[in-house]
Copies of this chain bind each other. A is one copy, B any other.
Amino acid sequence: MVDTRDKKVLELIKRITCGERRALSQAITFSESTRKDHRDIAKGVLSKLNNNNDKTVRIAVTGSPGVGKSTFIESFGLDLINKGLNVAVLAVDPSSVSSGGSILGDKTRMELLSKERRAYIRPSPTKGSLGGTNLRTQEAIILCEAAGFDVILIETVGVGQSETMASQMVDVFCLLLGPSGGDELQGVKRGITEISDLILVNKCDGQLKNIAETTRAEYSKALQFFRRREIDAPSYPKVLTISSIEKSGLRDTWKEIKNLITWRKQSGMFFKIREEQKLTWFHREITNCINLRIENSEKILKKKKELEKKIRKGLTLPLNAAEKLALEIIR
């Protein structure tokens, strides 16, 4: 059994590193699977790949629905391909909470980009959470890099937990905004603004051009009030206007990303950030391992069900029941 698995792992690695698209897709599917045999293959592959590749650029693209993320990623991705780069897109489809399915299922997004030989687009329906990046996205990044992709674009939807996770996996965090007033400078958006390296005001074309420029100026000004982070290069975060339709601002976006990475590599920040990200991954994975442990032990599962019965009947507070069960799990 183990021999067959080792053979499978080695074969998969060989095919992935040769740039075989189907092998990459299969490895990502194994990584996302909940089946033990699939996960074992994925872990085998991942353990043998280089997860210290500092030549690649990992970029998060986030923003509210309707702001034009897919269109931007398509135009930007095509631009990078024309520069001779290989571009992988991990497009995180929002999953519907009650149906569990991908809502963009039958809608073809990024049609032009998906036809390019140098591009790879992978939608990851995420079950259970309101759309987002998860622990397996980190593994997909390593797999794409092993397959020879230079730039990994991670699209995330909405604002919240998913963005926090994405920011813990990328080198550069881009926030896409629509042209609009300063109203949005409040609330949860500020949290996002503060973890952004680049703020891209999209739709800077046609009648919206002036509003987009005003928005850019407002955000630039507002950013001055924020505390500079240790990882911010001088004059970063930056705010740019772009138009995915007129293809303007795309080259500047790439230029700013490259400048930021150069600065961070020279200052050592780039490596420090990636190191911290690995630790975050480690911590999240510990919780994950423990959850699997509960699911796989008959004794613990039985105790868990007994406690659940008591909770249902209102005989015990969930808080107290959890402490009791934890004693069973923990050494």
List residues of A whose CB falls within 8 A of some B CB.
43, 46-47, 51-52, 64-66, 94-99, 103, 129-132, 139, 157-164, 183-184, 186-192, 194-195, 226-227, 229, 275, 278-279, 281-283, 285-291, 293-294, 307-308, 311-312, 314, 317-323, 325-326, 328-331
Neighbour of A318 across the interface among B157, B282, B318, CB < 8 A? B282
Once the chains are docked, how many angstroms separate the CA of A190 from the CA of B319?
A: 32
Max chain B C-beta neighbours (<10 A), residue from A184, A187, A190, A294: A187
Q: In the complex the two chains form, is A186's CB within 8 Å of B312's CB?
A: no
Contacts of A66 in B (CB 8 A): 183-184, 186-187
Q: Is the interface of A mostly helix, strand, loop or mixed?
A: helix
Q: In the complex the two chains form, is B187's CB within 8 Å of A131's CB?
A: yes
Once the chains are docked, how many angstroms separate the CA of A279 from the CA of B317?
A: 10
CB within 8 Å for A161 and B129 given contacts A190-B94, A227-B99: yes
Contacts of A163 in B (CB 8 A): 130, 160
**Copies of this chain assembled into the complex:** 2
Q: In the complex the two chains form, is B187's CB within 8 Å of A158's CB?
A: yes
A261 to chain B, nearest CB (A): 19
A184 to chain B, nearest CB (A): 6
Once the chains are docked, how many angstroms separate the CA of A308 from the CA of B280?
A: 10
Q: In the complex the two chains form, is A159's CB within 8 Å of B130's CB?
A: yes
Closest to A294 in B: B286
Can you list 21 A-B pairs with a CB-CB distance of less than 8 A?
Answer: A47-B319, A51-B314, A51-B317, A64-B187, A65-B189, A94-B190, A95-B191, A99-B194, A130-B160, A130-B163, A130-B191, A158-B158, A158-B189, A160-B161, A275-B312, A281-B318, A282-B308, A286-B329, A289-B326, A293-B326, A293-B330
Contacts of A46 in B (CB 8 A): 317, 319
Q: In the complex the two chains form, is B227's CB within 8 Å of A98's CB?
A: yes
Contacts of A308 in B (CB 8 A): 279, 282
Once the chains are docked, how many angstroms separate the CA of A35 from the CA of B287?
A: 22
Q: In the complex the two chains form, is B331's CB within 8 Å of A329's CB?
A: yes
Q: In the complex the two chains form, is A329's CB within 8 Å of B330's CB?
A: yes
Extra contacts besides A66-B186, A293-B330 (5): CB < 8 Å? A64-B64, A98-B194, A129-B161, A278-B318, A293-B326
